[in-house]
Chain A
Amino acid sequence: EPEVTQTPSHQVTQMGQEVILRCVPISNHLYFYWYRQILGQKVEFLVSFYNNEISEKSEIFDDQFSVERPDGSNFTLKIRSTKLEDSAMYFCASSLNGLAGAISYNEQFFGPGTRLTVL
C-alpha cells in the first residue's frame, strides 16, 4: 500500500539555524499539506499546496516558513531561522483531490512525522 514518507524522523538544531524537512507524498496525489503538533497540543494546519503554489496557509505560516516541490516526488518545508517555539512534530499529508465540497474530495494520508527539536 502506498505511503507518505518523511525524513528525517528526528532533527535537532540550534536556534537561528535553517532546517529543511522532507516529504515524499503518494505518487499520484495532487494536494500536499504540512501540519505540526507541539507537545501536548493539537495538530495544527500550516499550509496546503496545489499546482505548484500555496493554496491556503495559517497564521503560523509566516515569512520564516516556505514550501517547495523541487522535483516530481519531494515536498519540502523550510524554516529559515528556527526558534525554540518551532519545536514540534511536523506531519506531511497528501490527497488525490483536496477540493472541499467536490464529490471526489479525498481524505488525506499522513506521513510518520519529523520531530524537530530546537535548542
Chain B
Amino acid sequence: AQSVSQHNHHVILSEAASLELGCNYSYGGTVNLFWYVQYPGQHLQLLLKYFSGDPLVKGIKGFEAEFIKSKFSFNLRKPSVQWSDTAEYFCAVNDQEVSGGTSYGKLTFGQGTILTVHP
C-alpha cells in the first residue's frame, strides 16, 4: 500500500527565512503528487501539483516543489516565508494503478507539517 511521510511535525521560522518541507512516498510506479495547505479555520487548498513533465513545479504564493523520482521525494520550498504562511501543510500522492483496476483518484496523505512563522 502507498504511504507518505513528512519529516517534520512542526517547523518554526522567522519571517524571510527559507523553507523546505520534506515529503517521501513509497509507491514505485507512476504517481501524481500534491501539496495542500490548511490555513487556520479554513479548508484544505491546493498549493501545487505534479503530474508529469518538468520536475520543478511552481504553485501559488511563491511555493515550489521538486519531484525527485530516484529519491521518491517531493519536497516543498519557499525562499522567503511570511507570517501569513502560518498553516498546516500536507503532502499527498495518488498512484495511478491499483491492483486489478484503475485508480479513481484516491489520495494518500502524509501526517502534515505545522508551519509557524514569527513576524
Residues of A within 8 A of B (CB): 4, 31, 33, 35, 41-45, 48, 50, 55-56, 58, 91, 95, 98-101, 105, 107-113
Contact = CB atoms under 8 A, between A and B. Distances in A.
Interface in B65-119: 90, 92, 94-98, 102-112
B43 A101 contact: no
B104 A42 contact: no
Contacts of B94: 100
Contacts, number: 73
Given A110-B36, A112-B42, A113-B43, A101 B107 contact: no
B25 interface: no
B101 to A, nearest CB: 8
6 contacts: A31-B105, A100-B94, A100-B95, A108-B46, A108-B105, A112-B43
A82 to B, nearest CB: 23
Interface of B: 30, 32, 34, 36, 42-46, 49, 51, 90, 92, 94-98, 102-112
A42 B97 CA distance: 22
A33 B109 CA distance: 14
A89 to B, nearest CB: 10
A48 B106 contact: yes
Given A43-B90, A56-B106, A111 B111 contact: no
B92 to A, nearest CB: 8
A100 B105 contact: yes
A69 to B, nearest CB: 15
Given A107-B46, A110-B36, A43 B109 contact: yes
A101 B42 contact: no
A45 B104 contact: no
Given A42-B109, A107-B49, 16 more contacts: A33-B106, A35-B107, A45-B107, A48-B104, A50-B104, A55-B104, A56-B104, A98-B105, A100-B32, A100-B105, A101-B96, A107-B34, A107-B46, A108-B105, A110-B36, A112-B42
Contacts of A110: 36, 43-45
A41 B90 CA distance: 12
Contacts of A105: 32, 51, 105
A111 B42 CA distance: 9
